[in-house]
Amino acid sequence: TLSSTLVSASPSPARADARPVEHRPRGGGGELAERERQVVALLAEGLSNKLIADRLGISDHTAKFHVNGVMAKLGAGTRTEAVVEAVRRGLVTL
């Protein structure tokens, strides 16, 4: 499930020999537009681009465009990383 994937993607407790990591947004780090916030919420539900498009009443191409924009702004390489980062930033809750 998406929840178990997110838990496994979460950082594990720090080791004694681990160096501190500076957390800062990768990629653009810009604010998400209202439509992008809607899209990332639907990504968190595990929806495909097609289902996102259907839910929002937009074309598949436009849904893909918004998903790519969300991923770029959140510095994510995958849809799961985008959801993890959105949760970390408080943009969505699971």
Q: For position 47, which CATH number holds?
A: 1.10.10.10
Whether residue 7 is contained in a domain is answered as: no
- Which segments of 1-94 are extended strands (E)? none
Whether residue 1 is contained in a domain is answered as: no
> What's the pTM?
0.70
Residue 94 has pLDDT above 80, yes or no: yes
User: For residue 44, what are its two tokens?
Assistant: 């968190």
CB 78 within 8 A of CB 35: no
Q: How many of the other CB atoms lie within 10 Å of CB of 40?
A: 28
List pLDDT tens digits, range 31-58: 999 999 999 999 999 999 999 999 999 9
pLDDT at residue 67, as a whole number:
98
Whether residue 8 is contained in a domain is answered as: no
Q: Using CA atoms, how far apart are residues 12 and 63, in angstroms rounded to an integer?
A: 33
Whether residue 17 is contained in a domain is answered as: no
CA 82, 83, 86, 92 torsion-angle sign: positive
Residue 65 has pLDDT above 60, yes or no: yes
List pLDDT tens digits, range 20-33: 444 444 445 679 99
Whether residue 37 is contained in a domain is answered as: yes
pLDDT at residue 16, as a whole number:
54
Domain residues for 57?
31-94
Q: How many domains does the chain have?
A: 1
What mean pLDDT, rounded, does the chain reach?
Answer: 84
Whether residue 93 is contained in a domain is answered as: yes
